[in-house]
Structure 1
């Protein structure tokens, strides 16, 4: 249906009805009884579906909102919001039964055709709420608490006057009253309140006295919320304060550290199941050991009372000693024999020692196997050197004898000989006499070895 409009005489009945409805909208907006009556007819017989949607067009309107906003003479040339407002005004004769029924039926049909308003649409409202939360996170709810709650009033469910005291401002309420209206607890409300207070102290958000119920302010990014909010009541204790400070020093959110501290069973499970978590726990304990005497004592007792740990400590001590011995020998270019003598290390032995001591790519440091292998290279070189050099072998034996004699002398020097008379024992006397015999034999052999050979007399002298 192609329509070209030049005057009202050329309008179809449907178009004339639309024209009259538009006239009623423009001229009778103050008392829209005529508009409401005409709108009821247009909706009831679907007049808006029977007129073209534009010039040189036979297509009807796609929806009722397009009909309202289309330019005359095809539509009403109005805004949907204005029509919604007019629908809220009662017809002067709605006290009459049939008029009221007609108006109710018309309003229901128009509401169905236009759909819910932006604020009434639950999907749109949820989408808007989600967008606000995605942008600001917990700050969105913290603002609602901060601008509506005045804690410490002790007024039960009574509202607390706004700090500014203006009549046009809504009154703030206590945390318990806000929680009651929210279906939540006052403790949860106060956690949001304290998060806002901490952020206000840092200048991130306005102070409470600058906030009014129902008035929005610019909010920080959602990522900063976790730095100020914690669900942990322990955060308010001295222990929580220490954990919070340590977490901040490590550059992590205090809430994470507090959660771990309040759930030691979960921490234990993570340590048992995950090597990286166990390593983090070990590293933390080692850092704490230096300044914690009680922890040092507890760890020492645990090690001595546990066979596997005691053996592991002994093996690690041996490894450390061997590595220290090998590295010192390589750096100095000399190796110490068991008797305490020093011999030079050739370059090829140094190279082999360093090769054995170098850990594999998968190991961060030299382990027991590497340490033992490097130590054995030096040990074998020392033994071979002693065996191949008779003079060195004699010096080694002499050094060993010197060491044993010194040790025996120290032992006797530590005895209190003044009390020997009171400790008589035949077996002890026999042992000492036997020892005396060993000493006498040793002295005799040493003296003989030290005497020069006898010079024979020359005959006929």
Structure 2
């Protein structure tokens, strides 16, 4: 027969402290000031090593993990991962230096003891949240961003496998995977990692990237004034991007170094655009010109592809092989797009002419016309059906009013009319 202990009247002083610790964890989980204070005492005084590990047991707990998981009144009766989450909540008086130091010491010791048992509290879900925070700050640059990348990213699969073999570790990921999760490019991610490695080689940071891992405790970071020396240093016009910017600057009659400096400091450009209307207007004009040039290039590529391959798509998206005559006419417009002096307007006219060729080809063949119309109707109906199926009946009933009911009844009537129409024989539809 098992007897559940409900009273704490006969507990020793150490057991009383454990009982209070567990009670505080459950009572104050939202703002665990009392729990953190008691846990700091239990850890610093080694209380968890002094209480018995169970009923009729004189031996103490063999590990801090066992102490956390043990049922009350001997342990806390919780999962270690839950305790690690509670540790992330600041102590209400953590602004006091002495309390902050005490909390930091306690958190470090608890995490160390649990890490020895293969429990770090750092998960893929936490990594995703941290990467989202990193992405939000990415454009501002800085040492914290480089530190986080150094903790998360490896350059090769061997390092990732090695990290994965260490108990309790969430393994590092590739620059490509980090870029996918953060919405940036692998090259940009690697520049942060290279900045950290270069700073470590120069003695500016003390911890090598190879010694960091996801969830590592923050280290002392250098000042912002030396950030530019290690992250993305300008290489003049030696890179492809630099060469393009330098050439464009010379054509505009300004020094390439000025344009390259703006390239290396997009935050400064952003501030200038926000603060100054003339700069904002210049930025708008540049973006419009860039968009026009992009459309010109895309349309030119489309015309070349139609002329060379003789393939296109109908308005509804069906693959279409153009007849020789249409393909020959499309080829005549290639000369327009190949001319370096062609304006975006001239390329747009050529693009519209090629589109007209496709429309004419579809209209000249009744079978293609019928297939194209059928495909268009099918797409519309499929989209409509999916939208209707996505409606939750319970939610609909909860918010339905007279207008909504009228709309649904009208839609039902229209669907019934269409269904009745396609059921009629062709002869009756013609009368």
Bin for the TM-score computed over the shorter chain: 0.3 to 0.5
Highest CA radius of gyration, 1 or 2?
A: 1
What's the TM-score once normalised by structure 1's chain length?
0.33
Larger relative contact order, structure 1 or 2 (CA cutoff 8 Å, min sep 6): 2
- TM-score w.r.t. length of structure 2: 0.35
